[in-house]
Amino acid sequence: MDNTSQSDIRISLEDKEPSWYSRTTRWFSLRSLSATKANLFGCSLGFISTGYQYNVISLLNVIWSIEYTQYYTQSVETRVNNALLYGVLVGQLLFGIIADYFGRKVSLLITSTLIILGAILATAAMGANNSIQGLFWALTIGRGLSGVGSGGEYPCCMPTNSEDGDALSVEKRGRRIALLGPCIEMVAENVVTIVQIILLHIFGTQSSQLEPTWRISIGLVIIPASIVFVFRLCMKNSRLYERDKSIRRRFPLIVVIRSFGWRLVGTCLTWFLMDSIYFSFLTFGADILANVTGSSLMHIAYYQLVNMAWIPMAYLAAFLIDRVGRKNILMFGFFTYAVTLFLIGGLYPLLYGKPAAYLVLYIFQGMFQILLVIPIYLIPSEVYPTVIRSTCYGISAAFGKVGGIVGVQFFLPIANAFSSSQSGYRADFLVAGGIAVVGLLVTYCCIPDWTKISLEKEDDLFWKSVDEYETKHNRPKSHCAETSE
């Protein structure tokens, strides 16, 4: 066949309008998947795993206290709850460095593998000779391993979303990052509650019927994690990362400290303060509901569905983040969060036994809390140059998990320090309100507003400052991607 005939056939095929089915299957086909689409799915869907694992433990605390009443003591509960947070802390620090030096794609493939392995271990947890203590140690190890993988998601996914978003539109970068990260995580946190309610209806709520519910609850995260792994095989490092890698060389640490030290203090402290509150109420929220309502396990599960009222606020914050500004939303969030926590703490004795009144205030508390989550997740992905973006993001997020560990560690001791659980939980809310006030002050003093500022231009300014420092101190330029002391 001659060239003219081949051309005519090709044109006629291209002119033919593809069906809706063919367009859809082509868009999702891994063989034709572009790096942009792979990055979008590989990063955004990873937050399903993290959000699911964070909230799965809340109702499981109540389930385990019913099924293993004499074994699930305060120390065991704290250990199991903290296992994920300790793992997340390690993962954020470790993969922040790996992502900057070896690339986001390699790091994300490893994190997916760790999440899957940890979930398998926790789902199949067994103690030697059917020991209940051994069962909870196996759960602790499994959740800790998953935590390392989940922690690595943050310094890999958020900077990638930020860098890809900057290439598409600087003006709409914040909205893209928020929608592809914390908003998805927020939805996943509520999906797990629906899953657990369905499982409780299927298997029952008696102590002898609860084991399938908690094992399946933990194990279901394997499905989204496996799907994400496939997408990540098709990912590529962002254009901004590859551009920076081509010009990367040794740079003096003093330049980083002078330029970004104060920002790092701000991003670390705000995340620390938020997570110290957030993970405390996320972990023990079902316990508080049980205290206020005195309800059955199934009623507590349904009460937790009120968290779904928070989701619209997450999307509202995402669409306002570029118009109002990151810093303004964060300050407003800390202020309203503090007011709501003080209000619940002050009125807690009056709310006792009145679940409807408590749930109204609880919904507002969660909604204002979301105004913190969106900018706190977003800001560290923007305010640092590409060469150290994942590392600084990992450090900031790790400080957050330290705050979460501290909050979870001291939440029950504070509550138990009082003569009644009613007074103890009231104290927890009042302390949390004070922490939110400190967060407001830290935001005002330490957080820059990076709304609509190009990441690429900031990279150029960073390397320019490195050049100026080396010229001033007569230091030779090196093309090794390392940090000099």
The pLDDT tens digits of the residues spanning 300-327 come to 676 667 778 888 889 999 999 999 999 9
Enter the tokens of residue 162: 């930020």
What pLDDT score was predicted for residue 389?
Answer: 94
Residue 12 belongs to some domain of the structure: no
Q: In this model, does residue 437 exceed pLDDT 90?
A: yes
What pLDDT score was predicted for residue 27?
Answer: 46
Cα–Cα distance, 159 to 268 (Å, whole number): 16
Residue 467 belongs to some domain of the structure: yes
Question: Please, which pLDDT band fits residue 151 given cuts at 50, 70 and 90?
Answer: very high
More reliable by pLDDT, 207 or 400: 400
What pLDDT score was predicted for residue 13?
Answer: 39
Average pLDDT over residues 59-68: 88
HSE-CB of 76 using CA atoms within 13 angstroms: 18
Residue 177 belongs to some domain of the structure: yes
Average pLDDT over residues 450-475: 85
Cα–Cα distance, 483 to 254 (Å, whole number): 10
Q: In this model, does residue 204 exceed pLDDT 70?
A: yes
Domain that holds residue 402: 35-478
Cα–Cα distance, 105 to 333 (Å, whole number): 33
Q: Do residues 462 and 468 make contact, with C-beta atoms less than 8 angstroms apart?
A: no
Q: Which helix (H) or strand (E) holds 262?
A: helix 253-293
Q: In this model, does residue 485 exceed pLDDT 50?
A: no
Cα–Cα distance, 446 to 334 (Å, whole number): 14
Question: Please, which pLDDT band fits residue 465 given cuts at 50, 70 and 90?
Answer: confident
Q: In this model, does residue 457 exceed pLDDT 60?
A: yes
Among 39-48, 116-125, 132-141, 402-411, the range scoring the smallest mean pLDDT is 402-411
What pLDDT score was predicted for residue 266?
Answer: 96
Domains identified in the chain, total number: 1
Task: Sort residue 110 into left (φ over 0), alpha (ψ -120 to 50) or beta.
Answer: alpha
Average pLDDT over residues 212-228: 94
Question: Please, which pLDDT band fits residue 121 given cuts at 50, 70 and 90?
Answer: very high
Q: In this model, does residue 252 exceed pLDDT 90?
A: no
What pLDDT score was predicted for residue 124?
Answer: 92
More reliable by pLDDT, 11 or 150: 150
Q: DSSP 3-state assignment of 484?
A: strand
Enter the tokens of residue 445: 């003093």
Average pLDDT over residues 213-228: 94
Per-range mean pLDDT, top range of 87-91, 354-358, 407-411 = 87-91
Residue 26 belongs to some domain of the structure: no
More reliable by pLDDT, 395 or 40: 395
Q: Which helix (H) or strand (E) holds 300?
A: helix 297-303
Q: In this model, does residue 196 exceed pLDDT 70?
A: yes
Q: In this model, does residue 14 exceed pLDDT 80?
A: no
Single out the residue of 163, 193, 194, 197 nearest to residue 180, CA to CA. 163
In sequence order, what are the beta bridge partners of 349? none
Q: In this model, does residue 440 exceed pLDDT 90?
A: yes
Domain at 421, CATH number: 1.20.1250.20
Residue 27 belongs to some domain of the structure: no
CA dihedral 346, 273, 415, 288 (to 10 degrees): 70
In sequence order, the 6+-apart residues with CB closer than 8 A to the CB of 116 are 149, 222, 225, 226, 229
Question: Please, which pLDDT band fits residue 57 given cuts at 50, 70 and 90?
Answer: confident
In sequence order, the 6+-apart residues with CB closer than 8 A to the CB of 481 are 101, 245, 248, 249, 250, 387
Residue 338 belongs to some domain of the structure: yes
Q: In this model, does residue 375 exceed pLDDT 60?
A: yes
Q: In this model, does residue 446 exceed pLDDT 90?
A: yes
Average pLDDT over residues 461-469: 87
Q: In this model, does residue 240 exceed pLDDT 70?
A: yes
Q: In this model, does residue 299 exceed pLDDT 80?
A: no
Q: In this model, does residue 374 exceed pLDDT 50?
A: yes
What 8-state DSSP symbol labels residue 420?
A: S
Residue 10 belongs to some domain of the structure: no
Q: In this model, does residue 293 exceed pLDDT 70?
A: no
What pLDDT score was predicted for residue 285?
Answer: 67
Residue 301 belongs to some domain of the structure: yes
Average pLDDT over residues 77-89: 88
